Structure 1
Amino acid sequence: MREKGRRQAVRGPAFMFNDRGTSLTAEEERFLDAAEYGNIPVVRKMLEESRTLNVNCVDYMGQNALQLAVGNEHLEVTELLLKKENLARIGDALLLAISKGYVRIVEAILSHPAFAASGRLTLSPCEQELQDDDFYAYDEDGTRFSPDITPIILAAHCQKYEVVHMLLLKGARIERPHDYFCKCAECAEKQRHDSFSHSRSRINAYKGLASPAYLSLSSEDPVLTALELSNELAKLANIEKEFKLGKILRAPFMKFVAHAASFIIFLGLLVFNASDRFEGIATPPNVTVIDFPRQIFRVKTTQFTWTEMLIMVWVLGMMWSECKELWLEGPREYILQLWNVLDFGMLSIFIAAFTARFLAFLQATKAQQYVDSYIQESDLSEVTLPPEIQYFTYARDKWLPSDPQIISEGLYAIAVVLSFSRIAYILPANESFGPLQISLGRTVKDIFKFMVLFIMVFLAFMIGMFILYSYYLGAKVNPAFTTVEESFKTLFWSIFGLSEVTSVVLKYDHKFIENIGYVLYGIYNVTMVVVLLNMLIAMINSSYQEIEDDSDVEWKFARSKLWLSYFDDGKTLPPPFSLVPSPKSFVYFIMRIMNFSKCRRRRLQKDLEMGMGNSKSRLNLFTQSNSRVFESHSFNSILNQPTRYQQIMKRLIKRYVLKAQVDKENDEVNEGELKEIKQDISSLRYELLEDKSQATEELAILIHKLSEKLNPGMLRCE
Structure 2
Amino acid sequence: MLIRSMEESPSLRRKTVMREKGRRQAVRGPAFMFNDRGTSLTAEEERFLDAAEYGNIPVVRKMLEESRTLNVNCVDYMGQNALQLAVGNEHLEVTELLLKKENLARIGDALLLAISKGYVRIVEAILNHPGFAASKRLTLSPCEQELQDDDFYAYDEDGTRFSPDITPIILAAHCQKYEVVHMLLMKGARIERPHDYFCKCGDCTEKQRHDSFSHSRSRINAYKGLASPAYLSLSSEDPVLTALELSNELAKLANIEKEFKNDYRKLSMQCKDFVVGVLDLCRDSEEVEAILNGDLESAEPLEMHRHKASLSRVKLAIKYEVKKFVAHPNCQQQLLTIWYENLSGLREQTVAIKCLVVLVVALGLPFLAIGYWIAPCSRLGKILRSPFMKFVAHAASFIIFLGLLVFNASDRFEGITTLPNITVTDYPRQIFRVKTTRFTWTEMLIMVWVLGMMWSECKELWLEGPREYILQLWNVLDFGMLSIFIAAFTARFLAFLQATKAQQYVDSYVQESDLSEVTLPPEIQYFTYARDKWLPSDPQIISEGLYAIAVVLSFSRIAYILPANESFGPLQISLGRTVKDIFKFMVLFIMVFLAFMIGMFILYSYYLGAKVNAAFTTVEESFKTLFWSIFGLSEVTSVVLKYDHKFIENIGYVLYGIYNVTMVVVLLNMLIAMINSSYQEIELNLFTQSNSRVFESHSFNSILNQPTRYQVSIH
> TM class by shorter-chain length?
0.3 to 0.5
Query: In structure 2, the residue corresponding to 1:191 is in which secondary structure?
Result: helix
Q: Is the 8 A contact 1:424 1:437 kept in 2?
A: yes
**498-507 vs 521-530, greater mean Cα deviation:** 498-507
| Match of residue 503 from structure 1 | 638
Return the offset for 1:452: 2.1
* Larger RCO (alpha carbons 8 Å, 6+ apart): 1
CA pair 315-110 structure 1, distance change in 2 beyond 3 A: farther
Query: In structure 2, the residue corresponding to 1:359 is in which secondary structure?
Result: helix
Return the offset for 1:134: 83
CA pair 316-120 structure 1, distance change in 2 beyond 3 A: same
**106-115 vs 465-474, greater mean Cα deviation:** 106-115
Return the offset for 1:464: 3.8
Could you report, residue by residue, the CA deviation over 1:565-618 in whole angstroms, capped at 9, with x for unpaired residues?
xxxxxxxxxxxxxxxxxxxxxxxxxxxxxxxxxxxxxxxxxxxxxxxxxxxxx9
Return the offset for 1:307: 1.0
1:322 pairs with 2:457: yes
Query: In structure 2, the residue corresponding to 1:220 is in which secondary structure?
Result: coil
Return the offset for 1:275: 1.3
User: C-alpha distance in 2, partners of 1:278/1:637?
Assistant: 38
Return the offset for 1:396: 2.2
Please, what TM-score do these two structures have when normalized by structure 2? 0.40
Return the offset for 1:504: 3.5
Q: Is the 8 A contact 1:299 1:361 kept in 2?
A: yes
Could you report, residue by residue, the CA deviation over 1:634-659 in whole angstroms, capped at 9, with x for unpaired residues?
9999999999xxxxxxxxxxxxxxxx
Return the offset for 1:536: 1.0
CA pair 39-517 structure 1, distance change in 2 beyond 3 A: closer
Return the offset for 1:538: 0.6
CA pair 468-387 structure 1, distance change in 2 beyond 3 A: farther
Return the offset for 1:173: 43
1:241 pairs with 2:258: yes
Could you report, residue by residue, the CA deviation over 1:222-273 in whole angstroms, capped at 9, with x for unpaired residues?
9999999999999999999999x33222222222222111111111111111
User: C-alpha distance in 1, partners of 2:163/2:596?
Assistant: 86
**415-424 vs 471-480, greater mean Cα deviation:** 471-480
Q: Is the 8 A contact 1:168 1:218 kept in 2?
A: yes
**383-392 vs 203-212, greater mean Cα deviation:** 203-212
User: C-alpha distance in 2, partners of 1:285/1:450?
Assistant: 50
Determine which structure has more spread, i.e. the larger CA radius of gyration. 1
Could you report, residue by residue, the CA deviation over 1:422-455 in whole angstroms, capped at 9, with x for unpaired residues?
1112211112222222222222222222222222
Return the offset for 1:415: 1.7
Return the offset for 1:329: 1.2
User: C-alpha distance in 2, partners of 1:141/1:51?
Assistant: 29
User: C-alpha distance in 2, partners of 1:7/1:79?
Assistant: 24
- Aligned residue pairs total 578
Return the offset for 1:91: 68
Q: Is the 8 A contact 1:446 1:539 kept in 2?
A: yes
Q: Is the 8 A contact 1:21 1:58 kept in 2?
A: no
User: C-alpha distance in 2, partners of 1:250/1:274?
Assistant: 35
**465-474 vs 324-333, greater mean Cα deviation:** 465-474
User: C-alpha distance in 2, partners of 1:436/1:124?
Assistant: 52
Could you report, residue by residue, the CA deviation over 1:91-127 in whole angstroms, capped at 9, with x for unpaired residues?
9999999999999999999999999999999999999
**331-340 vs 360-369, greater mean Cα deviation:** 360-369
User: C-alpha distance in 1, partners of 2:502/2:89?
Assistant: 77
User: C-alpha distance in 2, partners of 1:3/1:373?
Assistant: 112
User: C-alpha distance in 2, partners of 1:143/1:396?
Assistant: 87
CA pair 101-365 structure 1, distance change in 2 beyond 3 A: farther
Segments of structure 2 that go 5 or more residues without pairing to the other structure are: 1-17, 261-379
Q: Is the 8 A contact 2:573 2:713 kept in 1?
A: no
Question: Which one of 421, 425, 431 corresponds to residue 296 of structure 1?
Answer: 431
Return the offset for 1:505: 3.9
Could you report, residue by residue, the CA deviation over 1:250-301 in whole angstroms, capped at 9, with x for unpaired residues?
2222222221111111111111111112217999999964332212222222
Q: Is the 8 A contact 2:55 2:94 kept in 1?
A: yes
Segments of structure 1 that go 5 or more residues without pairing to the other structure are: 548-617, 644-684, 687-700, 705-718
CA pair 463-401 structure 1, distance change in 2 beyond 3 A: farther
Identity %, equivalent residues: 97
Return the offset for 1:89: 78
Q: Is the 8 A contact 1:346 1:418 kept in 2?
A: yes
Return the offset for 1:390: 2.6
Return the offset for 1:459: 3.1
**175-184 vs 293-302, greater mean Cα deviation:** 175-184
Could you report, residue by residue, the CA deviation over 1:116-162 in whole angstroms, capped at 9, with x for unpaired residues?
99999999999999999999999999999999999999999999999
1:27 pairs with 2:44: yes
User: C-alpha distance in 2, partners of 1:544/1:702?
Assistant: 14
**498-507 vs 430-439, greater mean Cα deviation:** 498-507
Could you report, residue by residue, the CA deviation over 1:157-203 in whole angstroms, capped at 9, with x for unpaired residues?
99999999999999999999999999999999999999999999999
Query: In structure 2, the residue corresponding to 1:11 is in which secondary structure?
Result: coil
**139-148 vs 4-13, greater mean Cα deviation:** 4-13
User: C-alpha distance in 2, partners of 1:218/1:266?
Assistant: 52
User: C-alpha distance in 2, partners of 1:13/1:178?
Assistant: 41
**535-544 vs 339-348, greater mean Cα deviation:** 339-348
User: C-alpha distance in 1, partners of 2:693/2:676?
Assistant: 76
Return the offset for 1:342: 1.6
Q: Is the 8 A contact 1:129 1:138 kept in 2?
A: no
Q: Is the 8 A contact 1:122 1:150 kept in 2?
A: yes
**630-639 vs 503-512, greater mean Cα deviation:** 630-639
Query: In structure 2, the residue corresponding to 1:440 is in which secondary structure?
Result: helix
CA pair 46-233 structure 1, distance change in 2 beyond 3 A: same
Q: Is the 8 A contact 2:570 2:690 kept in 1?
A: no
| Match of residue 11 from structure 2 | none
